[in-house]
Chain A
Amino acid sequence: MDYIINGITGAFQLIIHANPELLRIVGVSLRVSGTALFFAAIVGVAIGFRVGTGTFRGKKAIVILLNTLMALPTVVVGLVGYSFLSRRGLLGDWGLLYTPYAMMIGQFVLATPIIASLTLAAVQAMDRRVSLTARTLGASEPQRNWKILAEARFAVMAAVITGFGRIFAEIGVSSMLGGNIQGYTRNITTAIAYETGKGEFALGIALGIILLVIALGINALFQIRQ
């Protein structure tokens, strides 16, 4: 048990003294997941809104596809991403493998279906009168769409936060496409796995605490806003 107690003590020391390696790892996580989430939110909300409000052929198929992609294992995305980005892959010339950009792409692929699917559900559950009311008050098509999104804002925010939760805590994509390069692509989850493997629990626990605190902070902020 001593190693765990020592690990926890060490973890708090690392956090209190703002250990540079710890900060670098957290920085990579925030930058990669933040960027991936930004683009996934734009694309996911747009897809979810369009599918949710539109009536067209193949809509059901898209809904099924999005719901299926929600459960996509991260290692599968990592594997597919790897096959595209490795030197022998279709996009091998881009030289993206083992860079933060590769991690961003992988996390974008992971988060987008979740955000799209949850936005779609939110928009479909929206009161039909929102659209009618906006129109009868003189809203144009874009103004009406914006109003529907505004009315569904909490559900859409929840969708984005769920997407964030999915990518911030994932390891499959980060390790397979990022490669866990120290100071470059090593993020919270790959570092925890790596450090634990080495028997260095302090840094792993510290990162675990930070991961939880960030997730808790974001969810608490959302609840307060709601």
Chain B
Amino acid sequence: MINIRDLKFSYPGGFALDIPEISLSEGKIYLLTGPNGSGKTTLLEILALLLPAAYREFLYRGGPLPDSERDLLAIRRKMTLMEQNPYLFRTTVGENLAYGLSIRRIGKQEIGERVDFILKLLGLQDFRGRKVGELSGGEKQKVALARALLLRPEVLLLDEPTANVDRASVEFIEEKIKEYHRERKGIVIWATHNREQAYRVGDEMLCLLEGKLVPGTIDNLYFGEVRQDGGETYFFFKPELKASVPARKPGPARLIIQPEEIIVSLSPLASSARNSFSGRVVRIEELGRGVSISVDIGVPMQAFITRASYTELGLKLGGRVYLTFKATAVSVV
């Protein structure tokens, strides 16, 4: 539904976003992860057509973005961005919710019905006449979410929607967004720092690092050096720990391994995979669709396996395991 090629954006201060290609398909929830300052908010604002970026091609539903401001507004009205620290207009909850609809010239009766519906959906029935100044942080976040969902956007962009809210509200907000997405389809792009959340709600992961999209997640991101050794190329996590990687120019580099690409076993595997490490399990976390295993192989490394594999392997904290992955399963950037 959204295809962009050669996306470039830079702030006067120097930070730059440089994405050769990004394609987002209808019906999916994309989890946008990355460290602070990696460009998540900037990318969301560009996707929401709020920041003007340079690009070779920006297709929305197969068509290029229009030149005229009026036509562009029509597309912008199919998208909504909920900011990390959303601003609620200094009026009542009801008027905040109605704003997006009233500027679309929707009739008062329909606005009233839709506002009532969304308030009920988010358990905010008694909030309609409340002034926003009287709301708690969690309530404000819910109202901002209600305001975004009410517009039924094709593209819903969420910038850390559960940051700064209590645990109960996090689960509630996640559930409502998933519920909305199941019913509405469209695209949800959800920026988060929370890896548990990423596994719980996301269909696909987009990871940003210093303004560039990198494959995988930030779970297994290592800073080290690429060197040639005996005709092979290795990434050195530290002097005594290395992994075989595809041929690349020597020098400082970052290695990323997707947790899903790592095979966990109780004994060494006889396979063509070039990398096999042994270590002890230091953490086990159940995350939505599977289980995340953290193993100390000299550096912490996360693997993501299914619940069935986890049960079958009978993994325990402190137990010895082997992590195996192909040289081609890693990305060196």
The contact string, 1 if C-beta is below 8 Å from chain A, for chain B 84-99, is 0111011000000001
Interface hits, B99-125 → A, CB 8 Å: 99-100, 103-104
The verdict on A127 contacting chain B, using a C-beta distance below 8 Å, is yes
Closest approach, in angstroms, between the C-beta of A20 and any C-beta of chain B?
45
- CA–CA, A137 to B79, complex, Å? 8
Q: A133-B86, A140-B73, A140-B103 given; name 16 further pairs at CB < 8 Å.
A: A127-B87, A130-B87, A132-B87, A136-B48, A136-B80, A136-B82, A137-B99, A137-B103, A138-B73, A138-B77, A138-B151, A139-B103, A147-B89, A150-B89, A151-B89, A151-B90
- CA–CA, A138 to B85, complex, Å? 18
Closest approach, in angstroms, between the C-beta of B267 and any C-beta of chain A?
54
Q: List 6 A-B contacts (CB under 8 A).
A: A129-B83, A129-B85, A130-B89, A132-B50, A132-B83, A151-B89
B76 contacts A135, C-beta separation under 8 Å: yes
- CA–CA, A127 to B89, complex, Å? 10
Pick from B79, B89, B151: contact of A133, CB under 8 Å: B89
The verdict on B305 contacting chain A, using a C-beta distance below 8 Å, is no
A residues in contact (CB < 8 Å) with B: 127, 129-130, 132-141, 143, 147, 150-151
The verdict on B140 contacting chain A, using a C-beta distance below 8 Å, is no
- CA–CA, A132 to B44, complex, Å? 12
- CA–CA, A132 to B99, complex, Å? 14
Tell me which residues across on chain A come within 8 A of B50, comparing CB atoms.
132, 135-136
B87 contacts A138, C-beta separation under 8 Å: no
The verdict on B142 contacting chain A, using a C-beta distance below 8 Å, is no
Q: 8 closest A-B pairs (Cβ-Cβ)?
A: A129-B87, A137-B100, A138-B77, A136-B81, A133-B87, A143-B103, A139-B103, A140-B73
What total of chain B residues lie within 8 Å of the partner, measured CB to CB?
A: 24
Closest approach, in angstroms, between the C-beta of A155 and any C-beta of chain B?
11
Tell me the nearest residue of chain B to A139, going by C-beta.
B103
Closest approach, in angstroms, between the C-beta of A161 and any C-beta of chain B?
19
- CA–CA, A150 to B95, complex, Å? 12
- CA–CA, A143 to B89, complex, Å? 14
Tell me the nearest residue of chain A to B90, going by C-beta.
A151
- CA–CA, A129 to B82, complex, Å? 11
- CA–CA, A127 to B151, complex, Å? 23
Tell me which residues across on chain A come within 8 A of B326, comparing CB atoms.
none
Closest approach, in angstroms, between the C-beta of A130 and any C-beta of chain B?
6
A138 contacts B89, C-beta separation under 8 Å: no
B90 contacts A133, C-beta separation under 8 Å: no
A137 contacts B83, C-beta separation under 8 Å: no
Q: Pick from B86, B99, B104, B151 the residue with the most CB of A within 10 Å.
A: B99
B81 contacts A138, C-beta separation under 8 Å: no
Tell me the nearest residue of chain A to B81, going by C-beta.
A136
- CA–CA, A76 to B321, complex, Å? 89
Contacts A147-B89, A151-B90 known; A138 to B83 CB distance under 8 Å?
A: no
- CA–CA, A137 to B90, complex, Å? 16
- CA–CA, A90 to B102, complex, Å? 50
Pick from B45, B69, B85, B151: contact of A137, CB under 8 Å: B151
Tell me which residues across on chain A come within 8 A of B85, comparing CB atoms.
129
